């Protein structure tokens, strides 16, 4: 039976799930497999792309989610940050399209990520992959689900036997520090990478310095519910809804592998300093 805190409005999590899926259908109308999106593309300060679809989805999700829970805070990659969220126990954390570069060039590994943070900890998450029509979800007191079926992390306990996904430079550096493992195919959306650890498709994953709350929260909730965890290179569990929503390099894996992988990531970081 789901155990939903009393200050979560009735039906709000159902709305979040439905909205994530509807947002995926909205975005995929602009997607062209193997070709550039039909959506207009602009570039933010620093050079990262944002598309017409990102902004449309962001606006849609904000309207749906904030209507369902008007007293919650809001944090999204495509909305100007407001410090009012820091005073809220419950905060929606959204990445309208996680993996915008993939989306824009016609690669399938992008997702819609809708998470709920409560007191700095992921409470619920919905990660929808529109191209493969896969809905990953976690709500309080229930197992992680993929299209309605329970999922769990790999039981792999040896890095030597593990399949690990992540950016090539990070994997190069980890292996350069002495670790050995099999490289899995790159998954550009970080949320997608994390939920692929949650469903056991891969044994673990890593990300370079710089992921934001919106990259992590929804998938972190799902990974937790599937029996896995995320640690930074220094061995800490990320906390969310802080003044600066940016994080150090992270590792993600099941309980038998996570400390070994985080330690290997930490060695990589120390070797660079």
Q: Which residue shows structure tokens 């050079």?
A: 47
Tell me which of 105, 127, 148 is where a domain ends: 148
- My answer on whether 53 and 129 are in the same domain is yes
Residue 2, in any domain of the structure? no
- My answer on whether 18 and 111 are in the same domain is yes
Q: Which residues contact 78 (CB under 8 A, 6 or more apart)?
A: 50, 54, 55, 58, 96
Residue 3, in any domain of the structure? no
- My answer on whether 214 and 93 are in the same domain is no
- My answer on whether 69 and 166 are in the same domain is no
Tell me which of 148, 179, 205 is where a domain ends: 148
Write the DSSP assignment of 149-200 as a string of letters: EE--------GGG-EEE--HHHHHHHHHTT---EEPPP--SHHHHHHHHHTT
Q: Which residues contact 232 (CB under 8 A, 6 or more apart)?
A: 238, 247, 248, 249, 250, 251, 262
Residue 249, in any domain of the structure? yes
Contact status, residue 112 vs residue 191, Cβ threshold 8 Å: no
- My answer on whether 181 and 126 are in the same domain is no
Locate 265 and state its tokens: 């990531």
**Full pLDDT tens readout for the chain, 273 residues:** 568 899 999 999 999 999 999 999 999 999 999 999 999 999 988 788 999 999 999 999 999 999 999 999 999 999 999 999 999 999 999 999 999 999 999 999 999 999 999 999 999 999 999 999 999 999 999 999 999 999 999 999 999 999 999 999 999 999 998 899 999 999 999 999 999 999 999 999 999 999 999 999 999 999 999 999 999 999 999 999 999 999 999 999 999 999 999 999 998 665 554
CA nearest to 38, candidates 49, 24, 28, 23: 28
The number of folded domains in the chain is 2
- My answer on whether 94 and 173 are in the same domain is no
**CA separation for the pair 178, 83 (Å, rounded):** 43
Domain containing 50 equals 12-148
**CA separation for the pair 138, 178 (Å, rounded):** 36
The CATH number of whichever domain residue 181 belongs to comes to 3.40.190.80
**CA separation for the pair 110, 176 (Å, rounded):** 29
Query: pTM of the full predicted structure?
Result: 0.96
Tell me which of 99, 122, 148 is where a domain ends: 148
Residue 264, in any domain of the structure? yes
Contact status, residue 198 vs residue 153, Cβ threshold 8 Å: yes
């Amino acid at each position: 039976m789901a155990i939903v805190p009393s200050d979560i409005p009735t039906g709000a999590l159902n709305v979040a799930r439905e909205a994530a899926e509807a947002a995926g259908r909205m975005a995929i109308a602009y997607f062209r497999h193997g070709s550039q999106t039909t959506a207009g593309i602009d570039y933010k300060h620093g050079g990262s792309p944002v598309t017409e679809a990102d902004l449309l989805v962001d606006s849609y999700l904000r309207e749906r989610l904030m209507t369902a829970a008007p007293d919650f805070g809001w944090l999204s990659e495509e909305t100007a940050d407001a410090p009012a969220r820091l005073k809220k126990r419950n905060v929606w954390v959204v990445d309208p399209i996680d993996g915008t570069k993939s989306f824009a060039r016609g690669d399938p590994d992008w997702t819609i990520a809708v998470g709920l943070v409560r007191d700095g900890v992921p409470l619920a998450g919905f990660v929808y992959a529109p191209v493969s029509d896969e809905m990953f979800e976690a709500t309080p007191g229930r197992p992680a689900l993929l299209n309605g079926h329970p999922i769990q992390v790999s039981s792999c306990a040896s890095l030597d036997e593990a399949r690990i996904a992540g950016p090539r430079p990070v994997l190069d550096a980890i292996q350069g520090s002495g670790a050995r493992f099999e490289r899995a195919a790159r998954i550009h959306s970080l949320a997608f990478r994390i939920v692929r650890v949650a469903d056991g498709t891969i044994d673990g994953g890593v990300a370079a310095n710089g992921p934001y709350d919106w990259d992590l929260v929804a998938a972190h909730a799902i990974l937790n519910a599937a029996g896995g965890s995320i640690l930074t290179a220094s061995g800490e569990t990320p906390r969310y809804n802080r003044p600066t929503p940016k994080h150090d390099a992270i590792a993600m894996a099941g309980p038998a592998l996570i400390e070994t992988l985080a330690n290997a990531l930490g060695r990589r970081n120390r070797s660079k300093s």
